[in-house]
């Protein structure tokens, strides 16, 4: 199938549809055509990958930089936020009785992950003027849910994987029964943690965030993507079916992470939906890049088993489109993502601009 057909399918799918639910203050963000503002921010972050291309020509960039805004230290930002999230996760799941289940929960939760989802939540909260402290409970919750999905996805009855985040998978370390229960416990704790620990946020917004996150995980979200993925094993899969799998299995939780950050940060409905569109794009981008890395990197580089999709004959973007067209599709998604940020203050939006670039250029 031609690349143009793929993009057409992407545009006409549910990927960028607007869903407005229950917010009334619509006055803060002006409508109109987006005006790229990326050139107003300089990032200390190398861009060497062919996946992510500049959004402004060199001439326009130089013109914008006549009065440059302060340099944005993206790598430093990621390191600081990762440290904050890791500390909060450590405190959220203390070692206690029964020791085995809490050891298993901590084993996977505290492993060296990228923390993209909680940082996305924090950055989205700050985008609309919210304080980081408002979103830490829900940031921890999305990482708990993500970790649960990894534990369950690695089980012999699912993807049957032995390596995750550079070490043996949970069921290899603790046994299948404990791994299932550790995932279940993390999922339950995630919603308990939001309800019990979120402070200085209205109950209406906490409920909205819980509903958003629950929808992203259940039979209309992550579970939907996982079950369709299982049902499609060994079968011919179209690009639209592959998009459905990855929008639900991967992008939905990234989307919920960002949307929940805006909700608890006090964002209005238009801000919520523009961030939703941004996150849906980078969520699918994350998976396209993941598929590319699976066939271009080693297990040591990835920290998980490389070539697994190819060995199990799974449908992937490189398999259906070829590597070059998959890279072009990734660039398209990155461009569409940053268009949604053009309506926001460029200083506040800087982490999200460069988080999209980071996802496009990641090497593991």
* Fold type of domain 3-15+34-361: Farnesyl Diphosphate Synthase (1.10.600)
Contacts 24+ apart (CB under 8 A), 292-295: 292/51, 292/317, 292/318, 292/323, 292/326, 292/327, 292/330, 293/362, 293/363, 293/364, 295/323
The pLDDT of residue 364 is 66
* pLDDT recorded at residue 155: 95
pLDDT of residue 232: 85
Residue carrying structure tokens 């009065």: 67
Helix (H) or strand (E) holding 123: helix 116-127
Angstrom distances, CA of residue 229 to CA of 61, 82, 129, 315: 43, 31, 38, 9
pLDDT of residue 310: 57
Quote the CA–CA distance of 264 and 126 in Å, as a whole number.
Answer: 10
Residue pLDDT, tens place only, 133-151: 999 999 999 999 999 999 9
Provide the 8-state DSSP code for 164.
E
- Classify residue 79 by burial, with Cβ atoms within 10 Å: 0-12, 13-18, 19+: exposed
Under-70 pLDDT residues of the chain: 1-71, 297-313, 364
Assigned token pair, 248: 């639900």
Rounded to two decimals, what is the model's pTM? 0.80
Domain ranges for the chain, please list them: 3-15+34-361
Nearest in space to 201 (alpha carbons), one of 116, 119, 125, 276: 125
Rg (Cα) of the chain, in Å, rounded?
Answer: 20
Q: What pLDDT sits at residue 91?
A: 97
Distance CA 309, CA 57 (A): 37
pLDDT at 46: 37
Burial 205-219 (b: 16+ CB within 10 A, else e): bbebbbebbeebbee
3-state secondary structure of 118: helix
Closest residue by Cα to residue 309 from 300, 301, 320, 332: 320
Query: What does the angle CA 268 – CA 273 – CA 277 come to, to the nearest 5 degrees?
Result: 150
Question: What DSSP state is assigned to residue 167?
Answer: E
The DSSP 8-state label assigned to residue 40 in this structure reads G
State how far the Cα of 354 lies from the Cα of 251, in Å rounded to an integer: 18
Q: What is the pLDDT of residue 318?
A: 87
Please answer whether residues 201 and 134 qualify as being in contact, where contact means their C-beta atoms are separated by less than 8 angstroms: yes
């Amino acid at each position: 199938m031609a690349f143009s057909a793929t993009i057409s399918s992407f545009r006409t799918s549910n990927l960028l549809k607007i869903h407005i639910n229950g917010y009334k203050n619509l006055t803060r963000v002006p409508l109109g055509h987006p005006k790229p503002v990326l050139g107003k921010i300089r990032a200390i972050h190398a861009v060497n990958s062919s996946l992510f291309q500049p959004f402004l020509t060199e001439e326009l960039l130089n013109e914008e930089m006549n009065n440059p805004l302060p340099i944005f230290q993206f790598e430093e930002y990621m390191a600081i936020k990762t440290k904050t999230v890791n500390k909060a996760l450590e405190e959220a799941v203390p070692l206690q009785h029964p020791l085995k289940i809490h050891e298993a929960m901590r084993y996977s939760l505290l492993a060296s992950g990228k923390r993209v989802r909680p940082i996305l939540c924090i950055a989205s909260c700050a985008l609309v003027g919210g304080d980081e402290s408002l979103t830490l409970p829900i940031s921890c919750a999305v990482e708990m849910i993500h970790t649960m999905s990894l534990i369950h996805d690695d089980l012999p009855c699912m993807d049957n994987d032995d390596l995750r985040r550079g070490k043996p998978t949970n069921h290899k370390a603790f046994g299948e029964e404990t791994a299932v229960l550790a995932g279940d416990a993390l999922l339950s704790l995630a919603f308990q943690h939001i309800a019990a620990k979120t402070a200085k946020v209205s109950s209406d917004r906490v409920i909205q965030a819980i509903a958003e996150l629950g929808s992203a995980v259940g039979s209309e979200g992550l579970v939907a993507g996982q079950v369709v993925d299982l049902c499609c094993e060994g079968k011919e899969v179209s690009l639209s079916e592959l998009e459905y799998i990855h929008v639900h299995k991967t992008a939905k939780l990234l989307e919920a992470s960002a949307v929940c950050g805006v909700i608890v940060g006090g964002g209005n409905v238009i801000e919520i939906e523009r961030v939703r569109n941004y996150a849906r794009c980078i969520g699918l981008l994350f998976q396209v890049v993941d598929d590319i890395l699976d066939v271009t990197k080693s297990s040591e580089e990835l920290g998980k088993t490389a070539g697994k999709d190819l060995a199990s004959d799974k449908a992937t973007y490189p398999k259906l489109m070829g590597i070059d067209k998959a890279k072009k599709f990734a660039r398209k998604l990155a461009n569409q993502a940053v268009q949604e940020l053009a309506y926001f203050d460029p200083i506040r939006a800087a982490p999200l601009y460069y988080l999209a670039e980071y996802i496009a250029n990641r090497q593991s």
